[in-house]
């Protein structure tokens, strides 16, 4: 029986994790659930799974949840501080931590889980983007186990030899190939992208995901972050990690070996597949996802990427090559830009412009500790809003 803490349980990954957990009550017990402000959904989850703790980072939401749970006679303790997130990730009774808080907000709790030697199911790619070396060092020093949830990295992990370890180079691997759907605007004429709305950007052709990551898919920043993450996880030079368009999202990634063999992992575009794989690794369990019908799929397409359409991908490669805090700056600027777009304060094509501006005007430092990383994150966000003030009159929705 694994006791599980789910960091970000009301999001799409957290919800899918609970669906898989529900299929195997003999294997998994929910110890703690966390969310930001989605009181109604966390309340429903607490009623069903009866965790020992529930953490809401928004204090008012936590107060509301506490009253609701008390009225139902539940003994779940409701907490609301940043250190409480870290506490439920590092708690001695916890075996496994699903780290799926979106963005920089999930870094501290993920690191706390690593420092406590937990089995970490990593769905928060920003934790590695911002502090790859620090996180991997904590994993290795504390005998933690890091397993990738992202469909692409999970696919790569499945295609590696059985004795492969994350954070170490597999010398027989020549190249890693990440597949990308191309997002909501893959087939749009470039000149129409300035008119793209948040509602249109959030209509992913294949996957059901949260708003932020769906916009990242449309800009291809999600793939840029995944390239950085893959370099850390598999210790591959970034130039040995490529991205190709695969509209069907059936092949989730490929690994090319030195002998000329290429292995691929195929499956329905449903996150319950990679979630079930890491939950019970190295043994496989039922995910609740239907079998892949290749006769129904019929055709698998592959296309080259056009960086003119997806400049954010190139920005990610550049930031990683600069190193230090540059990936942190990239991530922070992107988080601000995406939220501004979702709030209809900038247009879709402003996202890479804002990120490029911040990268060029922020000093890069060695990312040797969390204080430096968080300082870079704050500075990058401040400069992102300076870009907005400077360019506000050009914003499409104002």
Write the pLDDT tens digit of every residue in 4-58: 999 999 999 999 999 999 999 999 999 999 999 999 999 999 999 999 999 999 9
pLDDT score of 207: 67
Task: Supply the mean pLDDT for the chain.
Answer: 93
Sorting pLDDT into bands at 50, 70 and 90, what band is 306? confident
CB of 42 closer than 8 Å to CB of 54: yes
The count of other CB atoms within 10 Å of the CB of residue 398 is 10
CA distances 355 to 28, 199, 312, Å, are 41, 22, 8
Q: What is the pLDDT of residue 123?
A: 93
Q: How distant is the alpha carbon of residue 26 from its chain centre?
A: 28
pLDDT digits (tens, 9 = 90+) for 248-266: 999 999 999 999 999 999 9
Domains (range + CATH), the chain = 2-149 (3.40.50.720), 170-268+291-297 (no CATH), 323-394 (1.10.1740.10)
105 falls in which pLDDT band (50, 70, 90)? Answer: confident
Print the SS3 string covering 321-378.
HHCCCHHHHHHHHHHHHHHHHHCCCCCCCHHHHHHHHHHHHCCCCCCCCHHHHHHHHH
Cα gap 300→251, rounded to integer Å: 8
Measure the CA–CA gap between 394 and 350, rounded to whole angstroms.
9
What is the arithmetic mean of pLDDT over 359-384? 93
pLDDT of residue 374: 92
Cα separation of 155 and 295, whole Å?
Answer: 22
* pLDDT bucket at 393, cuts 50 / 70 / 90: low
Q: Average pLDDT of 188-217?
A: 87
For residue 173, list its beta bridge partners: 257
pTM: 0.90
């Amino acid at each position: 029986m694994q006791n599980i803490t789910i960091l970000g349980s009301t999001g799409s990954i957290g919800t899918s994790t609970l669906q898989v957990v529900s299929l195997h009550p003999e294997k998994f017990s929910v110890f703690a659930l966390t969310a930001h402000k989605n009181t109604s959904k966390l309340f429903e989850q607490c009623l069903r799974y009866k965790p020992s703790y529930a953490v809401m980072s928004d204090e008012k939401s936590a107060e509301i949840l506490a009253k609701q749970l008390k009225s139902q006679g539940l003994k779940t303790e409701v907490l609301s501080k940043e250190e409480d997130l870290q506490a439920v990730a590092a708690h001695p009774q916890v075996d496994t931590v699903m780290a799926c808080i979106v963005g920089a907000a999930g870094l501290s709790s993920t690191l706390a889980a690593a420092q406590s030697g937990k089995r970490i199911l990593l769905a928060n790619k920003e934790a590695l983007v911002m502090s790859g070396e620090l996180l991997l060092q904590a994993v290795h020093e504390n005998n933690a186990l890091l397993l990738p949830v992202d469909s692409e990295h999970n696919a790569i992990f499945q295609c590696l030899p059985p004795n492969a370890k994350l954070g170490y180079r597999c010398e027989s691997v020549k190249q890693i190939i990440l597949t990308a759907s191309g997002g909501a605007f893959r087939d749009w004429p470039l000149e129409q992208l300035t008119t793209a709305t948040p509602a249109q950007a959030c209509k992913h052709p294949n996957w059901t995901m949260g708003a932020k990551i769906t916009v990242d898919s449309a800009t291809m920043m999600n793939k840029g972050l995944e390239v950085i993450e893959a370099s850390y996880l598999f210790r591959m030079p970034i130039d040995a990690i490529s991205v190709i368009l695969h509209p069907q999202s059936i092949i989730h990634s490929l690994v090319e070996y030195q002998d000329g063999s290429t292995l691929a992992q195929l499956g329905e575009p449903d996150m319950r597949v990679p979630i079930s794989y890491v939950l019970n690794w190295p043994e496989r369990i039922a995910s609740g996802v239907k079998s892949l019908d290749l006769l129904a799929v019929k055709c698998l397409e592959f296309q080259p990427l056009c960086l003119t359409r997806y400049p954010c991908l190139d920005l990610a490669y550049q930031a990683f090559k600069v190193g230090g805090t540059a990936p942190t700056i990239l991530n922070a600027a992107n988080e601000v830009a995406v939220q501004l777009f979702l709030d209809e304060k900038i247009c879709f094509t402003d996202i890479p412009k804002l990120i490029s501006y911040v990268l060029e005007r922020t000093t890069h430092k060695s990312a040797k500790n969390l204080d430096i990383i968080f300082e870079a994150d704050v500075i990058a966000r401040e400069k992102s809003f300076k870009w907005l003030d400077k360019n506000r009159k050009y914003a499409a929705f104002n």
